[in-house]
Amino acid sequence: MKATISHKKKSYSIDFSKPLDISIPLRGESSNVNAWYTEPPKITPHTAGDFVGKVTEGASTNFNDIWFNPHAHGTHTECVGHITAEFHSVNQNLKAFFFLASVVTIAPEKQNEDFVISKKQLQYALKGFKGDALVIRTLPNLKEKLNRQYSNSNPPYLLEEAVNYLVELGVNHLLVDLPSIDKEKDGGALLGHNAFWNTSGLVRKHATITEFVFVANTIKDGLYFLNLQVAPFENDASPSRPVLFKIEEY
């Protein structure tokens, strides 16, 4: 199905029959992607007395209980409530679900013992930036990202200056293929998160960060139409399924 959308007085043609899913599926296995020192997610038949919620065990339906942490176990979208004492729900703060999004690929650079994404790298990658959303794919981009165990691995992250630059550009929805935009162990500073949501000023409640995406190498850098859907959890974060669509400007 094809459609035409308008954005800032420009029109774009989109083929909705060709989605590019950049989410990581959640599995109840130890091989599921993981971070933040948590146990693997669990998907198990519900039990109550003699009842086991599994057709092969005699039940009429499969009736599973699921345990997971949205921040640790896969693609999730979070709002400012992730770092504030005051409760904020991503289900209430995310009001729209379709955006123009730029996809860029960046190789994090070495800084002391870390690998980071700097303002200079983003300035180079985002010349002529368009859209409301930005998807960052990091190199190397291996399929191992789908089941990597990130705890105590000091993954790459964005420098505070880089995040400030994204805010200046007008990025309202940031998607990364990392467990966090911040350093794994930073003493709770969360410089990137605080900068993105501007917690020291007028808080950007509408803005979201999506972590743990996976952008296949077959998806080229460029401008896309993004559908960012979250499960309707009244929580600071929710599992999400960002889907890209190729577009043609005319």
Question: β-pairing, 109-111 with 114-117?
Answer: antiparallel
For residue 55, what is the DSSP state? G
Place of tokens 């969360």: 190
Tokens of 81: 């409530």
Q: Rounded distance, CA 37 to CA 34, Å?
A: 8
In 3D space, the residue among 68, 75, 89 whose CA is nearest the CA of residue 244 turns out to be 75
Kindly report the length of the chain: 250
Domains of the chain (ranges, CATH numbers): 2-26+70-249 (3.50.30.50)
pLDDT of amino acid 11:
84
Instruction: Give the DSSP letter string of 169-230.
Output: HT--EEEESSS-SS-SSSTT--HHHHHHHTTTSS--TT-EEEES----TTS-SEEEEEEEEE
pTM as predicted: 0.96
Per-residue pLDDT of the chain (250 residues; tens, 9 = 90+): 777 877 667 788 999 999 999 999 999 999 999 999 999 999 999 999 999 999 999 999 999 999 999 999 999 999 999 999 999 999 999 999 999 999 999 999 999 999 999 999 999 999 999 899 999 999 999 999 999 999 999 999 999 999 999 999 999 999 999 999 999 999 999 999 999 999 999 999 999 999 999 999 999 999 999 999 999 999 999 999 999 999 986 5
Contacts (Cβ under 8 Å, ≥6 apart) of 32: 26, 40, 41, 73, 74, 147
